[in-house]
Structure 1
Amino acid sequence: MQALRQFISRPALCYSSLFPQRFLQTSSVLEMPIKVGDPLPSVELMNCDPSNKVDISSYTGKIVIFGVPGAFTPTCSKDHAPGFVNSVDALKAKGVEKVVCVAVNDPFVMGAWRDHLDKNNQIEFLADISAEFTKAIGLDFDASPILGNVRCKRFTMVVENGKVKALNVEPDGTGLTCSRAKDVLKMV
């Protein structure tokens, strides 16, 4: 408590003199979640087939990306993805050129999920098979007890020419309070 009082009363006091222990890091960069202004990482995802690879950073124009914990999971299949399927025209009317769904699943599952939800193939359903993209943007979480491995937190992102212009991440990573299609319509 004494150290805190000193810190408050003397703002020029160096943090390291109050807390001399060092925090060690084994990697060169801390894994921080992506934020507005950041470029998308260059990561190849699979568009419903292992031979159909897409570098997510190569998209140009205005795109919307939404991430889900898993294809065919209840909230993702009943509310989140269908909301985007039903809002494609409204998003395109606001200048969105492409709507993309990302999940840590294999490309065959993503293809089957697309066929189940999006009969007109209006949305790209991209498989992040080893969570490389999800980890690169810092939105991964351990879903091993329920889904067997690391998964993607639920989010929506507006990207223009490769840079994040707007981002909503669900506070608990899985809920559906700020990452719905109607929320993105306010962001574009």
Structure 2
Amino acid sequence: MTQGAGELDSLVRKRIRALRVAQGWSLDELATRARLSPSSLSRIENGQRRLALDQLVTLARALDTSIDQLVETDTDDVIVNPMIDGAHGLMRWPIKAEPGMTVLRQRITDPPPDNPARMRAHPGREWLVVLSGVAVLMLGNRRFRVEANQAAEFPTMVPHAIGSGGGPCEIIGIFDREARRGHEPDKPAHSESD
């Protein structure tokens, strides 16, 4: 999507105002955080004052965001198509908002391993959402039953495995960058239940 300079300028001003309002801040509060006068900030938001690069940097910091996020214009790829891993029967969706995060949809038919040696541990964090059936999440010596429409979040440094709880289940797993590395195909293979 290509935008002219005027459209981009207007978009950035709207984002600044929207982020301020979302934080529940008045013009005075954001102006104080950004070391601007409230009248200058008001004129920036309303397009009555030129928005200088140094002000953009200061406002991005004050709003706890980045310049990239304030000026990003690419909204063409709102829909994300899955990548199919036919060999393992998996679908993965890349998440743009968090670099390195991965979403995985999986059908699990096997129970979790009984042998703790088959559980994996690696850096990172994972989230699990059960779409249908019942999943069993093994975390160290603990066993959790996760039913349809329930979710679990756990650090992956704890030895873990996921299996079905008495019949097929479908799950969505979300992996941060470190956890994803622990599940990459060139690593020792997870069983279908992890």
Q: TM-score, normalised by structure 2?
A: 0.27
Bigger Rg, structure 1 or 2:
2
Q: TM-score, normalised by structure 1?
A: 0.27
